Amino acid sequence: MKKLLLKYPNHFLVHVGSILEQNYHNEYLNEIEKIKQEFPSLNNRFIFYGSLDYPSYLGALFQSDLVLNCSFSEGQFKAILKAMGSKIITLISRIERNKSICEGKQTSIMFEGEEEFNDMYEKIFNNQIDTTQLVENAYNKFQECYDFSIEKKGFSDLFSQVDCKTDQL
């Protein structure tokens, strides 16, 4: 990841999600600290939000260019589907749970290991992969798989927090 962040100075790594395994999380933070010490210019480019309420999660999602899932086991199936439903590129680890929604290279880009991750990431941001068709396919897959009542509630909660009156526009 540090190689990519050095190469793409406008990219940030934003981690959103609750801490499921404290030991793994501590290892993750230690690795990030090592990178920051080695490359001080990357200091402000790692952002950790942790668990967010649903409207904030949707806000973070819609500001993303890519959703990365690098799980070795469970895959966070719903998070990937939400990204697909938001028409955001998904770069996901090649594990069994993720394969069930990936459909080859039709809906998501999969990787296994750091080298393939770096290669796929660069292909995405150097326009060597047709991401337009990919996100459309992913959106269609999302519509087949996802319960929209969850999204409706999230948007309802989000809009209820916004005080927007037409006479003030």
CATH number at residue 115: 3.40.50.2000
**Would 58 be classed as within a structural domain?**
yes
> Does residue 73 form part of some domain?
yes
Residue 163 resides in a domain = no
Q: Where residue 117 falls among pLDDT bands split at 50, 70, 90? A: very high
pLDDT tens digits, 18-67: 887 888 889 988 999 999 999 998 888 888 888 898 888 888 888 899 99
| In-domain check, residue 140 | yes
Residue 101 clears pLDDT 50, i.e. is over it: yes
169 part of a folded domain: no
pLDDT band at 123 (very low <50, low <70, confident <90, very high): very high
**Domain membership of residue 27 as a residue range:** 2-155
Please tell me the total number of residues recorded for the chain in this structure.
Answer: 169
Confidence at 166, pLDDT banded by 50, 70, 90? very low
What average pLDDT score do residues 123-144 get? Answer: 89
User: Residue 161: inside a domain, yes or no?
Assistant: no
- Inside any domain, residue 168: no
Residue 83 lies in a domain: yes
CA distance 142 to 162: 27
**How far is residue 37's CA from residue 43's CA, in Å, rounded to a whole number?**
8
